[in-house]
Amino acid sequence: MRHVLWLLLLTTLPALAGKSCVDCHAGAAERSYALSKHGVIARIEAGRERRRTPDCAACHTFEAKAPVPQHYAKKTSRTEAREQATAGCGTCHSPRYVAEQLAAAQRGLAIGEMKRREAEALVELARKEVSATELAQIDKLLTTLRDENLRDLRLGLAHQSPDYQWWLGQAALDGSLLRIKGALGEARRTPGPRTAGPGGL
């Protein structure tokens, strides 16, 4: 059994080593970069000797050096990786511009987290008031808000992509929050068996 595992490791490692970031991080990570000014300019200048904007590895210096699929063998290394990802901005932009960008990202994320907390509080209420079927539907909306909308916002801020920050991020968070409110209101109006507690408004 152990031999089989070793064999598996030896045969998969070279394949993993030859992979580029986007082979493993296709989807939102790749697209948010592609839609950013960095990504657009990188595409236009692909193949040129001197390129003005960073690619994945230029910012993610930690992950570029760390072996995959486990970039973060130590617990602290994810924190280290995050710090390294913004350490290079200043080689191309002024310190003031970078500080402004990072502060704006912090604010954007705080707003996103506020929306998440508001949604979670509503779902807590729903848990006490509505039937299991209605709750399942509301829970699904919360999952979308947390796992998709908030992730897209994070990536939009990290990768300076207006599309991901605003449309797929903040606007989508607002949309999910409204749908949760709507579903809760609807469930409260619909007469039917309740799991616990008083129904209605």
Give the interface with ligand HEC as residue ranges (CB under 6 A): 16, 19, 21-25, 29-30, 33, 37-38, 41, 52-60, 63-64, 68-72, 81-82, 85-86, 88-89, 91-93, 98, 101, 151, 154-155, 158-160
CB 173 within 8 A of CB 112: yes
Tokens of 196: 């616990």
| Closest approach of ligand HEC to the CB of residue 30, in Å | 5
The number of beta carbons lying within 10 Å of the beta carbon of residue 44 is 12
Q: Identify which of residues 39 and 199 has a Cβ nearer to ligand HEC in the complex.
A: 39
Cβ-based neighbours of 68, under 8 Å, separated by 6 or more: 16, 17, 19, 24
Q: Identify which of residues 2 and 50 has a Cβ nearer to ligand HEC in the complex.
A: 50
Question: Whole-angstrom Cα distance, residue 133 to residue 21?
Answer: 40
Q: Identify which of residues 22 and 139 has a Cβ nearer to ligand HEC in the complex.
A: 22
| Closest approach of ligand HEC to the CB of residue 104, in Å | 9
Q: Identify which of residues 169 and 199 has a Cβ nearer to ligand HEC in the complex.
A: 169
CB 196 within 8 A of CB 128: yes
| Closest approach of ligand HEC to the CB of residue 46, in Å | 13
Tokens of 64: 């570029």
CB 175 within 8 A of CB 130: no
| Closest approach of ligand HEC to the CB of residue 51, in Å | 8
